[in-house]
Chains A and B, each alone.
Chain A
Amino acid sequence: MSAARWLRRALVMALLLTAVPARADAVDDAFAEGNAAADQAHWSAAVEAYERAGALLAQPSSLLSYNLGTAYAQLGDLGHATFHLRQALDFRGSPTTEVAEAARSNLGIVRRRAELAAATTSALIDRPQTWWDLVVETLRAPGVGWLALVCGIVAVGLFGVERLRSAAGARPTRWATSAFWLLAATWALAGGLHALSLRADRTAPRAVAVPAATEARDRPGMHGTSTWSVAGGAQVRIVDRTPGWVLVRLAGGIEGWLPESAVADLSRPFGQAQGR
């Protein structure tokens, strides 16, 4: 093979290899632009640059969500700050320990400010997180699903072995019976609770109210009677949808219709949530 032919192939490979980083550079440029604006406390410019980086990246990034949420917090936009800081904690964005700790810390500060703002504007906000919320959050984790599944598989295996032994004339051992029931109970309990939490996420996804205060109405449309008002940063669940409007429920059970643009769906990936 001639040297010219090798040279042509090398050039083609170089072009192919440099094609992907070209888009990545645009993301990094926007990210760096946001960082530079944030350094100079130009938070509006930082938010704009981070939003641009997110649109170019088109995949979850906990680091980007954290910086964006922090910039919104600096601007006093507690709804967007809460939404992005919560997204920074989502495992789909691959949060590092450093990002997760910083996001939790900032989320706590934003939450206190949102509660205070709600207290002074008569708007409603979801109740503060309790140990029960932690339990519910834990039940939603994939680990609980794995635990239930493995327990179920082992229990069924043990059951099959015991049946074979029984067919061969052997009597069931006490430890095998106890282990089977323990595994079956774990399968049923952990699996049932995990299924409930998955169902809740599927039928009533979690969302965050983004404007400082939004009037909730008794029916979809601006002609509906305003019944209460939800504070920015309040976590709600979307229980129904009509074009342009969503029926949300606060943790206490109170429900009302909000414009779709007033809530950001936490289950949707970055760039597809409403209310941005």
Chain B
Amino acid sequence: MRRPHRRAFLLGAGALALGFPRRVLASELTAELRVSSTSLKVGDEIDFELEVTRAGGGSVPDPELPSGLAEGFEITSRFASGSGFAFSMGGGGRSRTSHSSMGLTAVALKGGTYKLSFTVDDAGTKVTSNVVEVVVAAQAPASTEPAVAAIGKPTEARGDVFVWCASNKSKAYIGEQLEYRLDVYERSLLSSVTLRTPPNFADFYTYDLPEGEAVVEEVAGVPYRVRPGMRRALFPQKAGILVVGAPEITIGRRRRDRGAAVAIEVQPLPAKGQPPGFSPNNVGSFTVTAKIDRDTVEVGQPFTWTVEISGEGNVALLDPGPWPDIPGVRRYDPKIDSQMKSETKVTGRRTYSFLIIPEAPGALKLPAIALNYFDPEAERYAVARGEALVVEVRGTAVVPDEAALPDRAPGDASDATDLGLRPILAASTLPREPPPKPVLTPSRWGWSMVALPTLAATIWGGGALWRKFGPDDLARRRAAQRRRRRERLDAAREAVDSGEGFHVALANLLHDLAVGRVGDQGMGLPRPELMRMLASKGTPTIELRKLEDLLERCDAARFAAQRGTVDERRDMLDDALSLVERSSLGREPNDRGES
């Protein structure tokens, strides 16, 4: 097939494939709304399923949300959404359907009857689904009347989740320990249960108890998972019908459940047998122990007497009553420490530590401490008694040291002597000299301390640089040689007129010149040897002769007293200068000793 014909065939086939089904199936679109329940109450969940189907296949528009849904429901999730098609052959024909569906979960917010349906837009034509009537019953308002104290477990199953509150007793005495529990019963694992309104414990002193683990229980034959929400130990603080306020939980985002208020009948403590001045907080079961930190002390030496009350009950609020007077000692108010322990019940320990200073020698008797309490189990008053202790006090009685008293009365004229304080210093004038300004302030000190290692490092670095880049031994030797020649030349110049020392200085200069030319090996050699060595070093003969001539003239002047005239000496100096400045003898050898 030729290319233009093939293209025309493909375009025609595509147009048929796209246009034909649309034209045929446009009138066969159906919409259907299904609900999980048509009767529910506020707070319950409901599932909606919206499905659009087109018989014969083809594109299917997406369904829109049902009208009226927003008035009384809140959508919490979409659980299914999708589209597809089915194709079947048989029965002498063939069928093809396309569909689009959407699933919603919603929570009923308010009561009423709702007629729900949804529409789809099929290329400008509105197609409406079936109408579903959903009846939502309004939730009965929570009762403000407190429920009768709930004890034990629930007996009636209430939906898939509910809250249950109870106390272990419905009747108690003031100060008696009760246990309050709040549990959430749930049939499915709902992780989003929160305590919206906690119970109100206005008339109770409470302690948290361990909540424990979740368990599975059956309520009227229905299995529930029981999640412990709260455990509290309650101590009623007054007589009468005391109510623990009703809690409320939130399930999910909108659904709520309210527990029952718990009423407890609290009785006053029995008057019969009640000790005078008895505190209603001393309810429970207690023991008293006493101990001392040492058996023997000196007079005036403090020791600690510790009384400990422990047991089951609200130990932190215990009233031990007045402490007994102990003659012959000075006793201070006790240091009190309470430690509570919450397990299945609240227990605790309350410690009173007395600092005692004996003032007289002998056997000091610390009386037994008695604690009156009411035992609610036995419903009678009892006494817990500690042991009496004896401390041996040594030494002699002394007048109490009032200086140690922290609560002495101020303003007493004899205070100064009693306290042992030195008296005030009554000068006629106050010194007015301004405080001396310290030379070494912390700032200056710090900078100076930092500057010292910096200076040391600079010195060290400078030395290292000098060693690296400064003159070496050869250069130093040359410099010394130049300096020495200059000095001798200056001495010779100064002695030209007088002649005194002229020849010595000139001879030394010339000898130094020769030795400098041949190096260290020329030192100490006699003159003929030195001249031979100079010759072997390549010194021109004319310079050698000139040097030898000058040296001989110097010798003649030094040893034969032939100083000559000033002009002669000036000529000698000029000759020596020409040797120093222009001859090979005056040139400095390089590192290899070459001129």
Contacts and interface: CB of A to CB of B under 8 A. Distances in A.
B424 A70 contact: yes
Contact of A43 (B411, B428, B430, B433): B411
A32 B336 contact: no
Interface in A97-135: 98-99, 102, 105-106, 109, 112-113, 116-117, 119-122
A152 B455 CA distance: 10
Contacts of B414: 41
B422 A167 contact: no
A160 interface: yes
Contacts of B333: 120-121
Contact of A59 (B411, B425, B435, B459): B435
Contacts of B220: none
B413 interface: yes
B459 A163 contact: yes
Chain A contact residues: over half helix, strand or loop, or mixed? helix
A155 B453 CA distance: 10
Given A61-B431, A64-B430, A73-B419, A116 B406 contact: yes
A156 B460 CA distance: 10
Interface in A24-40: 24, 27-28, 31-32, 35, 38-40
A66 B460 contact: no
Nearest to B432: A24
Contacts of B416: 41, 74
A24 B429 contact: yes
Nearest to A75: B410
Given A63-B430, A160-B459, A145 B408 contact: no
A120 B430 contact: no
Chain B interface SS verdict (over half): loop
A39 B412 CA distance: 11
B335 interface: yes
A139 B160 CA distance: 75
B395 interface: no
A202 interface: yes
Contacts of B159: none
Given A59-B434, A149-B449, A156-B456, A102 B406 contact: no
A11 interface: no
Interface in A172-195: 187, 191, 194-195
B273 interface: no
B480 to A, nearest CB: 13
A153 B467 CA distance: 25
A189 B306 CA distance: 49
Interface residues of A, number: 66
Interface string B474-514: 00000000000000000000000000000000000000000
Contacts of B433: 94
Contact of A67 (B425, B438, B453): B425
Interface string B384-420: 0000000000000000000110111011111110011
B440 A146 contact: yes
Nearest to A99: B425
A44 B429 contact: no
A160 B410 CA distance: 67
Q: Which among B416, B422, B463 has the greatest number of chain A C-beta atoms within 10 A?
A: B422
Nearest to B435: A92
A109 B419 contact: yes
Contacts of B407: 76
A119 B452 contact: no
A263 interface: no
A52 interface: no
B221 interface: no
Given A117-B406, A163-B463, A166-B463, A39 B438 contact: no
Residue from the set A43, A74, A92, A106 with the largest chain B CB neighbour count within 10 Å: A74
Interface residues of B, number: 52
A26 to B, nearest CB: 11
B430 A74 contact: no
B322 interface: no
A167 B435 contact: no
B130 interface: no
B435 A152 contact: no
B335 to A, nearest CB: 5
Contacts of B404: 112-113, 116
A71 interface: yes
Contact of B452 (A70, A142, A152): A152
B475 to A, nearest CB: 15
Contacts of B413: 40-41
A198 B442 CA distance: 7
A32 B428 contact: yes
Nearest to A78: B406
A92 B438 CA distance: 10
Contacts of B460: 159, 163
A219 interface: no
A207 B428 CA distance: 31
A32 B459 CA distance: 61
B528 interface: no
Interface string B123-150: 0000000000000000000000000000
A93 interface: yes
B423 to A, nearest CB: 8
B355 interface: yes
Task: Kindly name the residue among A66, A112, A160 whose own CB sees the greatest number of chain B CB atoms within 10 A.
Answer: A160
A42 B410 CA distance: 9
Contacts of B440: 142, 145-146, 149
Given A41-B414, A113-B406, A198-B445, 12 more contacts: A28-B430, A31-B427, A39-B426, A40-B413, A42-B411, A67-B424, A74-B415, A75-B410, A76-B407, A102-B425, A120-B355, A159-B456
11 contacts: A41-B416, A46-B424, A70-B424, A113-B404, A113-B406, A122-B335, A149-B445, A149-B448, A149-B449, A187-B449, A195-B446
